């Protein structure tokens, strides 16, 4: 069945369901536990009600693509995986402070070159894979760093000279250089999520769909493009979660998702349609969560290939994009214009970088000067999400005004990630987000891209490593800020990527859902989430 036909059928089904249940109040979803068949010695006792499971239903805007931390990239996959896996340490997602996770404590040597972590004893892997030990930390590290793994996060630990297993419950990282940001690379955030060697080896290429972690929930099933089901881990080291089951329903079309929410088929959902904010704000039967983010939506150009190896072409594309239109018409005011990669509240944001105002006439002049008076034809690979398709269509129309014929190829997230990482598209989008230090964003997306493919989006050839390397080991905060500001100035002058907007993030929940918090990276930590009458 084609995807378009699938969504038409789903929309019709949900419309009928909505008509049937719209007048009914939504309540917590529960499922009866299966009962054993009565026997002659055990007569049925219908007067005793069966136990009921607490089941939370959440919407995903796309198939996760990857749950394996070595390849995990997009936010919907992260929302799922963050409840399956643990790290040595983890963020408090409200204020970005770092707290213990599977490491109960840690020491740092005076010279900053040795970091020793003391692990919790007795933590169990899911589904009988044994006890978590220091060997698992070492295996996770080696697997990410192994070229054969092909992890997009391989460079995250470049500063580690050696990872030493001191004993079963102690590991020690030996660094090349003291670094103010090393601890961030160990958080429960993608490559920092710890995996079990026996599970990876047992499942092999199928590990991605059979992931084993130590988190509060275990992967029960994953039907591609349909749903992901997690079940509670009763042996989680912080105690069993309140929920028995979490169903992530994959609904790409946002209009259909809102219909499902109103029809009580979904308890919680993140969304992007800005016009829904005001509607939900004025409703008493929902709880709205809404916040600005440091994430940035950019349009990348593969600057090692013609015509994008010509700065004038890159400048022409920048002048052809009306950023304010995205804010007003596409985002309905739920975004701010981006003129550089780092958001204004991040260290290193440089307000003095070159800015490329919307100017189609100037765009045409630059194209003519570069030898393309009649424009040219190109292709953009675009993920299947509604926002990505919408943004790509608007960019397509804007570029057409200056003579650039941009063809759009829509693909699923996993295919898009592989293609763009390998540099198989001359231009396209990416949404760049990261943790509170600029090193994380810039090192991940823009460092070391002269030897593609190495896990960088579009395998971009961009020369900024000297500044990023210096900032990564600079202990003086003021000097670090200056280095990042200099990097931003160079970047926006060379223009390998065109920042468009910083998006806000929105989510809505039913009243019976408690302790579900939406943060800017959709890390929905479900340990304490509960359903109440």
Q: What is the pLDDT of residue 158?
A: 85
Q: At 361, list the tokens.
A: 């006439």
In a domain, 195, yes or no: yes
β-pair partners for 410: 382
Q: At 31, list the tokens.
A: 């499922």
In a domain, 19, yes or no: no
CA 179 vs. chain centroid, Å, equals 25
Nearest to 247 by CA among 258, 235, 231: 231
Q: What is the pLDDT of residue 39?
A: 43
Please give the full DSSP string across 423-473, using - where no structure is assigned: T--SEEEEEE---SSHHHHHHHHHSSTTSSSSS-GGG-----HHHHHHHHT
Q: Which pTM was predicted?
A: 0.71
Are residues 425 and 393 part of one domain? yes
In a domain, 138, yes or no: yes
| Pairwise CA distance, residues 194 & 191, whole Å | 8
Are residues 529 and 494 part of one domain? no
In a domain, 97, yes or no: yes
Are residues 253 and 178 part of one domain? yes
**pLDDT band at 448, cuts 50/70/90?**
low
* Strand residue runs (E) in 310-383: 335-337, 377-383
Are residues 445 and 409 part of one domain? yes
Q: What is the pLDDT of residue 170?
A: 98
Tell me the CATH number at 415: 3.10.105.10
pLDDT digits (tens, 9 = 90+) for 186-216: 999 888 999 999 999 999 999 999 999 999 9
* Strand residue runs (E) in 89-232: 89-91, 98-100, 103-108, 114-119, 160-167, 170-175, 217-223, 227-232
| Pairwise CA distance, residues 65 & 49, whole Å | 40
Q: Which residues form the domain of 462?
A: 296-503
Tell me the CATH number at 249: 3.40.190.10
In a domain, 32, yes or no: no
Asked whether residue 7 carries a pLDDT value surpassing 80, the answer given is no
157-171, 303-317, 513-527: which has the minimum mean pLDDT?
513-527
What are the two backbone dihedrals, phi and then psi, of residue 86, each rounded to the nearest 5 degrees? Answer: -125, 165
- The domain total for the chain is 2
pLDDT digits (tens, 9 = 90+) for 244-300: 999 999 999 989 999 999 999 999 999 878 888 888 988 999 999 877 777 888 998
Asked whether residue 380 carries a pLDDT value surpassing 50, the answer given is yes
Q: How many CA atoms lie within 13 A of 170 on its CB side?
A: 8
């Amino acid at each position: 069945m084609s995807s378009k036909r699938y969504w038409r059928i789903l929309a019709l089904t949900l419309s009928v369901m909505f008509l049937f249940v719209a007048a009914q109040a939504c309540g917590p979803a529960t499922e009866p536990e299966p009962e054993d068949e009565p026997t002659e010695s055990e007569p049925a006792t219908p007067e005793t009600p069966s136990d009921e499971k607490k089941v939370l239903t959440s919407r995903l805007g796309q198939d996760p693509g990857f749950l394996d931390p070595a390849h995990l990239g997009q936010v919907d996959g992260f929302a799922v995986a963050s409840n399956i896996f643990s790290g040595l340490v983890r963020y408090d997602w409200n204020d970005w402070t770092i707290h213990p996770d599977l490491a109960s404590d840690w020491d740092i040597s005076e010279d900053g070159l040795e970091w020793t972590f003391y692990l919790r004893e007795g933590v169990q892997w899911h589904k009988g894979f044994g006890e978590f030990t220091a060997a698992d930390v070492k295996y996770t590290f080696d697997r990410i760093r192994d070229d054969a793994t092909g992890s997009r996060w391989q460079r995250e630990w470049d500063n580690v000279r050696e990872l030493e297993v001191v004993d079963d419950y102690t590991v020690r990282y030996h660094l090349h250089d003291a670094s103010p940001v090393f601890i961030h690379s160990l958080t429960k955030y993608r490559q920092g999520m710890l995996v079990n060697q026996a599970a990876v080896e047992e499942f092999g290429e199928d590990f991605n769909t059979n992931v084993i972690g130590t988190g509060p929930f275990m992967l029960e099933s994953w039907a591609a493009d349909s749903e992901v089901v997690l079940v509670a881990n009763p042996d989680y080291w912080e105690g069993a979660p309140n929920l028995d089951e979490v169903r992530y329903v994959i609904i790409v079309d946002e209009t259909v998702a809102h219909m499902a929410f109103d029809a009580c088929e979904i308890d919680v959902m993140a969304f992007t349609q800005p016009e829904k904010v005001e509607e939900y704000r004025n409703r008493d039967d929902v709880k709205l969560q809404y916040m600005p983010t440091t994430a940035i939506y950019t349009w990348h150009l593969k600057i090692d290939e013609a015509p994008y190896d010509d700065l004038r072409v890159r400048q022409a594309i920048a002048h052809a994009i009306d950023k304010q239109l995205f804010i007003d018409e596409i985002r309905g005011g739920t975004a701010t214009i981006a003129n550089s990669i780092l958001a204004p509240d991040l260290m290193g944001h440089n307000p003095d970088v070159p800015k490329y105002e919307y100017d189609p006439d100037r765009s045409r002049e630059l194209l003519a000067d570069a030898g393309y008076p009649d424009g040219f034809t190109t292709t953009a690979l675009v993920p299947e999400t509604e926002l990505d398709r919408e943004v790509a269509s608007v960019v397509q129309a804007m570029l057409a005004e200056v003579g650039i014929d941009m063809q759009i190829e829509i693909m699923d997230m996993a295919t898009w990630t592989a293609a763009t990482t390998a540099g198989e598209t001359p231009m396209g989008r990416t949404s760049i987000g990261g943790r509170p230090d600029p090193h994380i964003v810039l090192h991940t997306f823009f460092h070391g891209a002269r030897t593609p493919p190495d896990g960088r989006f579009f395998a971009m050839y961009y020369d900024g490593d000297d500044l990023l390397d210096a900032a990564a080991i600079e202990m003086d905060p003021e000097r670090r800020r200056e280095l990042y500001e200099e990097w931003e100035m160079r970047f926006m002058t060379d223009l390998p990527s065109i920042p468009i907007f910083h998006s806000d993030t929105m989510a809505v929940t039913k009243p019976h859902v408690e302790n579900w918090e939406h943060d800017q990276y959709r890390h929905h930590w479900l340990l304490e989430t509960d359903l109440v009458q």
